[in-house]
């Protein structure tokens, strides 16, 4: 019987790449997203992770239809580039609801089920912005910083029961979320990115990452090959946080 893995935000970007890789690794993958998804080997369920009151009901449904959940990847995101002055309270709360509350409480709900069975793996996708803030991203930076702290706290309680929880922190990734909402141009294709990050060496690898390059470490941390890593943050950022 295949192990069951759940991936949020699985319809596109890092979530889709993670779901594909987990299928290749032999998992029975359930993808959660507000949008429809179409990936061979992935069962999609339309679900908004901010609907926290339904988390346990959802997980119960998945386990009744597929079997015990062995792995969870929280990837779902809804980023909005907004200055401090222009940001509304509603916009602030929306990003916290997705990036922080949704991921933390789904981790908790899945983790409690895994604890009872004596094992499991959880990865929460954070960002280098959790420690090196981006401009005009107050809600995003706040949510990712909170996710880091909450994940470490969860990891402390889960590890004694065989459940390992970790964070993967991408830097620049070529996904829809990094496209300019007006022009549709990806930030990696702008003069700003080339000048401020590539030409001056702030991004040592010299290019943005692809979703598959973030999915690979997520899949490793979710796998049985990970037997001793818990409560840590893996930076997958092309060396950007190591540069001055």
Catalytic residues: 140
DSSP labels, 111-155: HHHHHHHT-EEEEEE--GGGTSPPTTBHHHHHHHHHHHHHHHHHH
Spatial contact of 10 and 16, defined as CB atoms under 8 Å apart: yes
In a 13 Å sphere around the CA of 23, the CA atoms on its Cβ side amount to 17
SS3 of 14-65: HHHHHHHHHHHCCCEEEEEECCCCCCCCEEEEECCCCCHHHHHHHHHHHHHH
Other residues' Cβ atoms within 10 Å of the Cβ of residue 1: 7
Spatial contact of 76 and 50, defined as CB atoms under 8 Å apart: no
Spatial contact of 97 and 50, defined as CB atoms under 8 Å apart: yes
Spatial contact of 64 and 108, defined as CB atoms under 8 Å apart: no
- Token output for 116: 């009872």
Q: Element (H or E) spanning 169, and its range?
A: strand 163-170
Radius of gyration of the chain (CA): 17
Q: Name 236's bridge partners.
A: 170
Q: For residue 139, report the phi and psi dihedrals to the nearest 5 degrees.
A: -65, -45
């Amino acid at each position: 019987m295949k192990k069951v893995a759940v991936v949020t935000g699985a319809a596109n970007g890092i979530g889709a790449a993670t779901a594909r890789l987990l299928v290749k690794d032999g998992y029975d993958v359930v993808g959660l997203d507000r949008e429809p998804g179409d990936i061979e080997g992935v069962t999609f369920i339309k679900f908004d992770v901010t609907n926290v009151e339904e988390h346990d009901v959802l997980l119960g449904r998945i386990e009744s239809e597929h079997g015990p959940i062995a792995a969870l990847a929280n990837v779902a995101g809804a980023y909005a580039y907004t200055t401090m002055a222009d940001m509304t309270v509603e916009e602030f709360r929306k990003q916290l609801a997705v990036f922080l509350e949704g991921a933390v409480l789904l981790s908790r709900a899945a983790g409690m089920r895994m604890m009872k069975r004596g094992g499991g793996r959880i990865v929460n996708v954070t960002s280098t912005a959790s420690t090196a803030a981006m401009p005009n991203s107050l809600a995003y930076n706040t949510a990712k910083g909170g996710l880091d702290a909450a994940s470490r706290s969860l990891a402390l309680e889960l590890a004694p029961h065989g459940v390992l929880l970790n964070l993967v922190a991408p830097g620049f990734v070529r996904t829809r979320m990094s496209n300019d909402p007006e022009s549709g141009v990806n930030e990696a294709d702008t003069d700003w990115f080339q000048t401020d990050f590539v030409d001056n060496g702030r991004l040592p690898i010299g290019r943005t990452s692809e979703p598959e390059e973030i999915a690979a470490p997520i899949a490793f941390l979710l796998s049985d090959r990970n037997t001793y890593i818990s409560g840590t943050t893996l930076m997958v950022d092309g060396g950007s946080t190591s540069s001055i």
